[in-house]
Amino acid sequence: MDKLDVILLTGRPAAGKSETIDFLKQLPDERRLQEYHIAPFEELDDFLYVWQTFEDDNIREHMGLPRRDTDANLYFLDDRIWDFFIERIDLDFRKKLARDPLFLEHHTVMMEFARGGENGFANAFQHLSDDVLSRATILYIDVSFEESLRKNRRRYRPEQADSILYHSLEDAKMERYYKDNDWERLSGGHDEGFIAVKGHQVPFAVFHNEPEKTLDPELLGAALRDVTGRLVKLFTHKG
């Protein structure tokens, strides 16, 4: 296998996921495939669903209707909504394949999301279908909570709060939703390997982004060549 079909691009907020996507978008298709094993790709990012949820509740309040999913400070009323967002990503993926069963022959799908809590990533992966898990690899961008907090503050641009690259959270929300992280336990502390999810052995590889590499195209490119190369080898030999 010389092409990655589905990449679950995960990590803490501001770990470098969006910068990685942006870097890959700038590359010619042939070079991206040859060096990074990624075909022309489409991105499914649950931030778009999160932001729409905020906007929808604000519209409801403006219309005199009760808020449904968030309070006035944009905290979620039911944390199961995080599972809903993963189910939404998964449904969009399955709809894409239903429209074009051969889509993945010439494309890659990048599913981008951050999670926190004692069972954040482990729980999120449980809400992915066999259609995803049978094709997926996990690219985890690793930074500490302190680094995540620093970079989250740095990228804050109120006028672009709805954008993929410049959205950020208040420190209190970072503490509540993302300070705890189950990746170390889930991965066993390894930089690569397999995670068992619903009967599937899903390959993973870790990209360490502390000190930060995602602001330097040369450092980022080298790190990505390494991690995607490891993912291809793991997928080829899985099972």
- How many CB atoms lie under 10 A from the CB of residue 192? 16
Burial (Cβ within 10 Å: 0-12, 13-18, ≥19) of residue 107: middle
Domain layout of the chain by residue ranges: 6-46+83-236
Q: Which two tokens stand for residue 177?
A: 């939703």
| Amino acid in position 211 | P
- Mean pLDDT across the stretch 49-58? 92
Whose structure tokens read 């030999």? 237
DSSP bridge partners of 204: 138, 193
Does the pLDDT of residue 3 top 50, yes or no? yes
Fold of 6-46+83-236: Rossmann fold (3.40.50)
pLDDT tens, 77-128?
A: 999 999 999 999 999 999 999 999 999 999 999 999 999 988 899 999 999 9
| Amino acid in position 217 | P
The predicted pLDDT at position 163 comes to: 43
pLDDT tens, 169-206?
A: 678 888 888 889 999 999 999 999 999 999 999 999 99
Q: Do residues 53 and 200 lie in contact, with contact meaning Cβ atoms separated by under 8 Å?
A: no
**3-class SS at 163?**
coil
Does the pLDDT of residue 239 top 70, yes or no? no
**3-class SS at 73?**
coil
